[in-house]
Structure 1
Amino acid sequence: MPRRKGAPEVNAGSMADIAFLLLIFFLVTTTIETDAGLDRMLPPIEPPDENVVIKQKNIFTVNINKNGQLLVEDQLMQLKDLREAAMSFLENGADGSCNYCQGRKNPESSDNPDKAIISLKNDRETKYSTYITVQNELVGAYNDLRNREAQRLYGRDFTVMEAEFLNPETPSNVRDELKDKVKRVQEMFPQKLSEAETTSN
């Protein structure tokens, strides 16, 4: 009786080449998502004026402690009330020079939007999410005031106009038209948000 032949051997010599080609294929065709980061526009670098004196009443202090609690002007405040408090400070108009401000003209608060500064300070142990949420509320206060004035002047929200102006796909003639409008509203409520050095208390 003839001997049975063993199972045929598979030639594995080219398997390494096939695996290498597949690796290259997946490396080339796979898209890797990247973190877009935070959408924050930094103010332009301007040389400081000499002998600048800032009155304490023109500074709106916001502190976040390590427990995530808000201290606004040394008083505990809920996050939901922060935006309204910041808006009241920004458009207080104590010196009467702001004819579009709707504030209370409290002599103990800011003189006008150009002099009003919001100072944000946090503890080293503050949660990042809390810090960003507070910062969003403060930026939102500026945007709400700018939207109000843009609606009054141009019948459009400032945030919409700014996004269209900054979009590189916007036609140049439209961007030229928006440039002066965006600049005018920004100058009405200049964003002066100072981020103070963190503390370790």
Structure 2
Amino acid sequence: MARRENPEINAGSMADIAFLLLIFFLVTTTMNVDSGISKKLSEKPPPDYVPPIIKEKNIFEVNINRNNELLVEDARMEISELKEAAKAFIDNGGGEGKVENGVATGPCTYCKGEKSESSSDHPNKAIISVQSDRGTEYGTYLKVQNELLRAYTELRNRLSLERYGTSFDELEEAYKKDRTDESLKKKVEDIKIAYPQIISDAEPTSGN
């Protein structure tokens, strides 16, 4: 009796299908991308640069320790309270602004703060100093930065609504769509000059 041979399976088409599936999954699969905070690093100052003397009251100290606890001006604070505290500091308007081209910009006429002599003189002098620990969780650091950015955003939106009848967010979005519009450019620059975003990141500490 003749021996029956098992028919061979053509695996060539299966390889093609597997290759097509691989291409499909590579094209359609989304990859998780680490998010962060976009910041422009300051340029290196010239060798003969003499840093200006900054009054202590114009510095808003924010510290995050290795236990992810927030200390603002040496006092414990919840992250949820940080935005309003930062706004009060930036918008205090308790003195004169920076001297530009030998001329002082004068007091802040648009600030709505308490004008306390113990807090910042002017938004263009208000510096927020953030210092974290090497053991601080990155997520906590991002939350702190986000609250500080929200403080500036809300102050800018308020002033933009008062001066131009539209929020700064809408103003900036409109300018991004039409960079040739000089009127929009001047309005955006006006609000940014009124509330310059001055956040300084100090070198992380190495807590025990």
TM-score, normalization by structure 2: 0.81
The answer to whether structure 1 residue 86 and structure 2 residue 86 are counterparts is yes
Residue in 2 aligned with 1:59? 59
What is the letter of the counterpart of residue 73 of structure 2?
E
- Where do 1:139-158 residues align within 5 Å? 139-158=149-168
CA distance in 2, matches of 1:135, 1:82: 10
The answer to whether structure 1 residue 191 and structure 2 residue 197 are counterparts is yes
CA distance in 2, matches of 1:152, 1:38: 32
Q: CA deviation at 1:182?
A: 0.8
With over 3 angstroms needed to count, the CA separation of the structure-2 counterparts of 1:149 and 1:27, relative to structure 1, is same
Q: Give the match's secondary structure for 2:108.
A: coil
Residue in 2 aligned with 1:14? 12
What is the letter of the counterpart of residue 24 of structure 2?
F
What is the letter of the counterpart of residue 196 of structure 1?
A
The answer to whether structure 1 residue 127 and structure 2 residue 137 are counterparts is yes
Q: CA deviation at 1:161?
A: 1.8
Q: CA deviation at 1:192?
A: 0.4
The answer to whether structure 1 residue 180 and structure 2 residue 178 are counterparts is no
> Are 2:88 and 2:113, in contact at CA under 8 Å, matched by a contact in 1?
yes
Q: Give the match's secondary structure for 2:129.
A: strand
Residue in 2 aligned with 1:40? 38
CA distance in 1, matches of 2:81, 2:27: 49
CA distance in 2, matches of 1:111, 1:64: 25
What is the letter of the counterpart of residue 9 of structure 1?
P
Structure 1 runs of 4+ aligned residues shifted over 3 Å read 23-32, 43-49
CA distance in 1, matches of 2:91, 2:111: 5
TM-score, normalization by structure 1: 0.84
CA distance in 2, matches of 1:44, 1:199: 21
What is the letter of the counterpart of residue 61 of structure 2?
T
Q: CA RMSD in A?
A: 2.6
Q: Which of 140, 159, 166 is 2:169 aligned to?
A: 159
